[in-house]
Amino acid sequence: MGRPTVTDIAREAGVSLATVDRVLNARPGVRAKTIAAVTEAVARLGYVRDMAAANLARGRTTRVAILLPDTESQFVQTLQDALEEAAALATSARMRVDLHRYPASDMHALAALLADLAAGGISGVALMAPETPVLRDALRALQAAGVPVVAMVSDLPNSAPAHFVGIDSHAAGRTAAMLMGRFLGAKTPRVMVIAQSMLLRDSIERRRGFDAVMLRDFPGIEVGQTLETHGAPETLRQVMRLSLESSGPVGGIYLLGSGHRALAQVLSELGLLGRVVTIGHELTPHTTAALRAGWMDAVIAQNVGHIARSTLRVLQAKADQQPINESQERLRLEIILRENLPPSP
Amino acid sequence: MGRPTVTDIAREAGVSLATVDRVLNARPGVRAKTIAAVTEAVARLGYVRDMAAANLARGRTTRVAILLPDTESQFVQTLQDALEEAAALATSARMRVDLHRYPASDMHALAALLADLAAGGISGVALMAPETPVLRDALRALQAAGVPVVAMVSDLPNSAPAHFVGIDSHAAGRTAAMLMGRFLGAKTPRVMVIAQSMLLRDSIERRRGFDAVMLRDFPGIEVGQTLETHGAPETLRQVMRLSLESSGPVGGIYLLGSGHRALAQVLSELGLLGRVVTIGHELTPHTTAALRAGWMDAVIAQNVGHIARSTLRVLQAKADQQPINESQERLRLEIILRENLPPSP
DNA sequence: TCACTTTTGAGGTACGCACATCATTGCTGC
DNA sequence: GCAGCAATGATGTGCGTACCTCAAAAGTGA
């Protein structure tokens, strides 16, 4: 005897197949008493609906949309690649994934895109975006229309997403601090913190976590203010020179966001490349090269492959109104050094 | 128009459904020319077999066996828990998993168990075991009978397993060395290496990787010979005292295998707990507690949840004669510090 | 008790595929 | 040109479920 089927449930509950179907799919026209009988039979036999067969019978192909900013970021590009690979595989499981890039600076365009999607009859949306009021309203409307929303990488707590796929940014910052503190050793106990901008929630949280551990475990190390570069290499050069002049030399650099290539350039000009402990975030071709070259000491990352697969699994589960396997979907915060770099494919 | 189906392939290739079926399922009695025509139609239409429907039609439930040693090891226990959880979920995907523990000291018993399984008509076997000649022969026989074998945690290169699920132990050792070297800082540049035994392949490889990086990047640090404890706390106490007396104090301890609790005890007796950099392997309740308490500085681990799910996915793929998604099955080597400990459930 | 509504039963079709059977076609050598 | 065999076609059944229709039974109120 294999797994129980609807037929077994019908026999066990003493009702017809049609009634079992009505109960399982929450169709109207069944007495409470009958519902209870079927539910009990389900529990007794340990019946689990065969979702594959169910979706086959429904004939529906789950259609989901994924929205990424059109930033020229290596990380976003890496994530997109991972999503495309995962989407190709998901095709064999009756799922169609539409990937869109939205203008990062125009939240109204994003909101309009979301409205279009809602009208187009989609069964789920996942997105990576900073939480603005416009977006929040758009997402709430989407969810009110019954479309589940999944936040990727950066959480959207005020939009009440159905799920968040990403790591704890505060823990990421704490981990960076722990490594920085221990790697610094006898080097100048001063750390420079650099960010493109502090608008994104994850940057802010990383910084908070970094400070918390620095203050608690390494009180002897001085941590500077966040230097914002707004993505411009020239600004980076200026703020770094200014900071070094006014506060003196540093033993470590913590890069909150992207901009690794520009940093390498400036460090090289200053004769600091490989002489200061450098810690950053996210595994991209640039950071991989930097680790391999030896001038970056550690990268705190989240596995984009996992993010992609987890996102699709969660969207599928939501579409099927199935529960989520928390332990599988919990992303690990990864520490990457030169020695545990993943083998290049 | 949704996804193409076998019917579309038949029309496109100008053949019948039966022939498409013969080609897709590699059944005999089709001319090479016809096979080519069908294959081309598949490529042209971008046909992807609906595995859900296929498995439904096959009506077969994949039965696999998983064999773990009956060692009283926290890691093995953790792995078993993960496998049981994954197995419970796999049930809804038409897969039955039988978990066995074999006597760790009796390879003949393991071989006999494997022979039984082969006779019982099983579609796959996964196991964690040291590679002995007896086992190697048993595994070869099993594979000759068409049963795919998956090695878990510790590879079995001479038994030519269909797949290995686990991390690169050499890289694990290299990573441990990197952290040890950098964490030591101004501490006594001498490291003690402790193992239960050096019989297992992964212990040996870790040690090799550790030495390689120590030699290359930290030539000033002296690394002692491997002290074997054979799992006995009393032996651990003796060899540690002996080593400290003969070679002098150490600044770090590298624990190759298990035995974290006994180590804590002895370190405490010696007044060294928390005063030497301690690095070990695998995330278990003991090591988690040690990291939290602060006397262990880092743990190099592999995610048992991933091992479990990956093992089942690979076995399923082998049973379905489907290709394996390498990028999903590649396990990451994890570095765990206190700050990035996974939140307790 | 009768007309009425609500609840339940019986049965069919479909989803995309695997697998089986039997009939038919094409090709080979003689 | 015919036996003999390989290649192909035609057709049916079933996997577990969804969804539909129509008929029958049970329950309701007056």
Phi, psi of B271 (to 5 degrees): 70, 25
- In terms of domains, do B210 and B162 share one? no
Determine the number of helices (DSSP H) and then strands (DSSP E) in chain A.
Answer: 14, 11
pLDDT at B92: 67
Q: Are A324 and A314 in contact (CB under 8 A)?
A: yes
pLDDT at B222: 97
Report the distance separating Cα A300 and Cα A14, nearest Å: 58
Would you list the DSSP string of B228-274? Answer: E-TT-HHHHHHHHHHHHHHH---SEEEE-SS-HHHHHHHHHHTT-TT
Answer whether A339 sits within 8 Å of B50, measured CB to CB: no
- In terms of domains, do A19 and A102 share one? no
Q: Are A180 and A277 in contact (CB under 8 A)?
A: yes
pLDDT at B199: 73
| Distance between A92 CA and the closest CA of chain B, angstroms | 5
Is the CB atom of residue B31 positioned under 7 angstroms from any atom of strand D?
yes
Answer whether B51 sits within 8 Å of A3, measured CB to CB: no
Report the distance separating Cα A5 and Cα B267, nearest Å: 58
- In terms of domains, do B174 and B284 share one? yes
Going by pLDDT thresholds of 50, 70 and 90, the confidence category of residue B246 is very high
Which residue in the set A2, A89, A177 is minimally distant from B325, CB to CB? Answer: A89
Please report, as a single letter, which amino acid is at residue B232: A
Going by pLDDT thresholds of 50, 70 and 90, the confidence category of residue B299 is very high
Report the distance separating Cα A114 and Cα B287, nearest Å: 46
Partnered with residue B277 across adjacent β-strands are: B252
- In terms of domains, do A150 and A184 share one? no
Does B55 score more than 90 pLDDT?
no
Q: Which residues of A touch B327 (CB under 8 A)?
A: 85, 305, 345
Query: Closest chain A residue to B168 measured between Cα atoms?
Result: A340
Q: Is B5 on the interface with A (CB under 8 A)?
A: no
* Closest to B150 measured CA to CA, from B81, B74, B64, B60: B64
- Chain A and chain B share a number of CB contacts under 8 A equal to 114
Mean pLDDT of A242-248: 94
Which residue in the set B3, B89, B297 is minimally distant from A325, CB to CB? Answer: B89
* Closest to A336 measured CA to CA, from A279, A267, A257, A293: A279
What average pLDDT does chain A have?
Answer: 93
- In terms of domains, do B173 and B120 share one? no
Which residue in the set A3, A171, A337 is minimally distant from B340, CB to CB? Answer: A171
- For A:63-92, CB contacts with B below 8 A are 85, 89, 91-92
Alpha carbon B20 to its chain centroid, in Å, reads 39
- Tell me the CATH number at A41: 1.10.260.40
Answer whether B340 sits within 8 Å of A303, measured CB to CB: no
**Does residue B173 belong to any structural domain of this protein?**
yes
| Distance between B277 CA and the closest CA of chain A, angstroms | 11
Query: Closest chain B residue to A168 measured between Cα atoms?
Result: B340
Distance B11 CA to C29 C1' (A): 34
pLDDT at A57: 92
- In terms of domains, do A176 and A291 share one? yes
Range scoring the smallest mean pLDDT among A82-86, A290-294, B317-321: B317-321
- In terms of domains, do A187 and A290 share one? yes
Q: Which residues of A touch B309 (CB under 8 A)?
A: 328
- Work out whether strand B298-301 and strand B334-336 pair parallel, antiparallel, or are unpaired: antiparallel
- In terms of domains, do B70 and B132 share one? yes
Q: Is A28 on the interface with B (CB under 8 A)?
A: no
The alpha helices in chain B, defined as continuous H runs, are 6-13, 17-24, 32-45, 51-58, 74-90, 107-119, 133-144, 169-184, 201-217, 233-247, 260-269, 285-293, 304-319, 326-329
Report the distance separating Cα A34 and Cα B179, nearest Å: 63
Does B345 score more than 70 pLDDT?
no
- Tell me the CATH number at B279: 3.40.50.2300
Question: Could you give the dihedral angle defined by the CA atoms of residues A100, A105, A108 and A109, in that order, rounded to the nearest 10 degrees?
Answer: -30
- In terms of domains, do A84 and A160 share one? yes
Which residue in the set B178, B183, B305 is minimally distant from A339, CB to CB? Answer: B178
User: What pLDDT, in 10s, does the model give residues B162-184?
Assistant: 999 999 999 999 999 999 999 99
Q: Which residues of A touch B335 (CB under 8 A)?
A: 334-335, 337, 340
In sign, the C-alpha dihedral spanning B302, B308, B310, B314 is: positive
**Does residue A257 belong to any structural domain of this protein?**
yes
Positions on chain D within 7 A of a protein C-beta: 6-12, 14-21
Report the distance separating Cα B97 and Cα B91, nearest Å: 8
Would you list the DSSP string of B168-182? Answer: -HHHHHHHHHHHHHH
Going by pLDDT thresholds of 50, 70 and 90, the confidence category of residue A1 is low
Percent of all residues in chain B with a pLDDT value above 70, rounded to a whole number:
99
Report the distance separating Cα A201 and Cα A220, nearest Å: 28
Is the CB atom of residue B55 positioned under 7 angstroms from any atom of strand D?
no
Q: Is A334 on the interface with B (CB under 8 A)?
A: yes
Is the CB atom of residue A21 positioned under 7 angstroms from any atom of strand D?
yes
Q: Is B281 on the interface with A (CB under 8 A)?
A: no
Answer whether A334 sits within 8 Å of B337, measured CB to CB: no
- In terms of domains, do A327 and A250 share one? no
Place of tokens 């704490």: A174
Q: Which residues of A touch B171 (CB under 8 A)?
A: 339-340
Q: Which domain holds residue A203?
A: 169-301
**Does residue B263 belong to any structural domain of this protein?**
yes
pLDDT at B72: 84
Answer whether B178 sits within 8 Å of A335, measured CB to CB: no
**Site from B304, B340, B341, B344 to mutate, A interface, most A CB atoms within 10 angstroms:** B340
Tokens of B96: 């039955």
**Does residue A235 belong to any structural domain of this protein?**
yes
Those residues whose C-beta lies under 8 Å from the C-beta of residue B55, and which sit 6 or more positions away, are: A52, B94, B320
Place of tokens 């269909």: B162
Does A38 score more than 70 pLDDT?
yes
- In terms of domains, do A191 and A310 share one? no
pLDDT at A73: 86
Which residue in the set B186, B213, B342 is minimally distant from A332, CB to CB? Answer: B342
Answer whether B327 sits within 8 Å of A305, measured CB to CB: yes
pLDDT at B1: 58
Mean pLDDT of A225-240: 91
Q: Which residues of B touch A342 (CB under 8 A)?
A: 330, 332
Structural element, H or E, at residue A178: helix A169-184
- In terms of domains, do A176 and A159 share one? no
| Distance between A97 CA and the closest CA of chain B, angstroms | 13
Answer whether A53 sits within 8 Å of B55, measured CB to CB: no
**Does residue A275 belong to any structural domain of this protein?**
yes
Q: Return the closest nucleotide (C1') to the Cα of A31.
A: C7
Question: Could you give the dihedral angle defined by the CA atoms of residues A159, A161, A165 and A171, in that order, rounded to the nearest 10 degrees?
Answer: 50
Report the distance separating Cα A321 and Cα A51, nearest Å: 10
**Does residue B25 belong to any structural domain of this protein?**
yes
Report the distance separating Cα B307 and Cα B330, nearest Å: 10
**Does residue A1 belong to any structural domain of this protein?**
no
Q: How many domains does chain B have?
A: 3
Those residues whose C-beta lies under 8 Å from the C-beta of residue B30, and which sit 6 or more positions away, are: B19, B22, B23
Which long-range contacts does B34-43 make (Cβ < 8 Å, 24+ apart)?
B37/B13, B38/B9, B38/B13, B40/B13, B41/B9, B41/B12, B41/B13, B42/B9
**Does residue A56 belong to any structural domain of this protein?**
no
